[in-house]
Amino acid sequence: MMRAALTGAAARGLLVAGLMPAALLSALLFAGAPGAAAGREDLGVYGRWGAFRDPALRRCHAIARPVRPAPPGGDARPDQPFASIGFWPGRQPGGQVHLRLSRAHGATGGPVLSVGGRRFALIARGTDAWAADQRMDAAIIAALRGAEQMTVSGRTAGGGGFQDHYALRGVASAIDAAMIGCAARR
């Protein structure tokens, strides 16, 4: 299978060199991401972000993997971290920000998302983190649209720190595609 023989970095290199279509890159990079099950509809790949619709779960999302997740070792997760903005027809009007962290966050404090010069204190449970409320979701999404990168950082239960870095090229288009993809299904 091609996925086993081609790492994410190698796939991105082929895309940059113009040797791999974006659709194939999308399939390789997001195969383990939420919505990767059969029936998911690709809404497009925009820079480092993809947009998908999952009709079975009635949701759409923009999603990306970090360009630099925390290095392996310690309490690293076997699955890949990601950042996503989800939309559900008929539910909350804006998107919901969700981050899968590269490390399980410790019990004290919460991870911090830094984007566009702003910092957001997230709510975490294990390796998952979210905005505290819809107002924070909206503020994060607005910040994403005007920034070039974001970083989520935190502390593990053992006291070690971690940072996951994301490139934001294409995020606005992916968010719009996910939002429109679910708005069309209302």
**pLDDT given for residue 183 in this prediction:** 83
- Residue 150: Cβ-neighbour burial (10 angstroms; 0-12, 13-18, 19+): buried
Helical packing angle, 134-145 and 171-183, nearest 10°:
130
What does the block give as tokens for 85?
């903005």
DSSP state of 68: B
Question: What per-residue confidence (pLDDT) applies to 111?
Answer: 94
Lowest mean pLDDT among 66-70, 99-103, 146-150: 66-70
Rounded Cα–Cα distance for residues 61 and 77 (Å): 22
Span 116-173, pLDDT tens digits: 999 999 999 989 999 999 999 999 999 999 999 999 999 888 888 889 999 999 999 9
Q: What is the pLDDT of residues 34-53, one digit of tens each?
A: 444 457 899 999 999 999 99
Sheet holding 161-167, edge to edge: 118-121, 112-115, 149-155, 161-167
Token reading at 99: 């981050």
Higher confidence at residue 57 or residue 134?
134
For residue 21, the model assigns a pLDDT of 41
Helix residue ranges, H only, the chain? 2-5, 8-16, 22-29, 134-145, 171-183
More confident residue, 38 or 180: 180
Give the pLDDT band of residue 58 (cuts 50, 70, 90): confident
State pLDDT tens for residues 82-97. 999 999 887 767 899 9
Q: Is the pTM of this model over 0.85?
A: no
Q: Given CA atoms 21, 40, 66, 75 in this order, what sign does their dihedral have?
A: negative
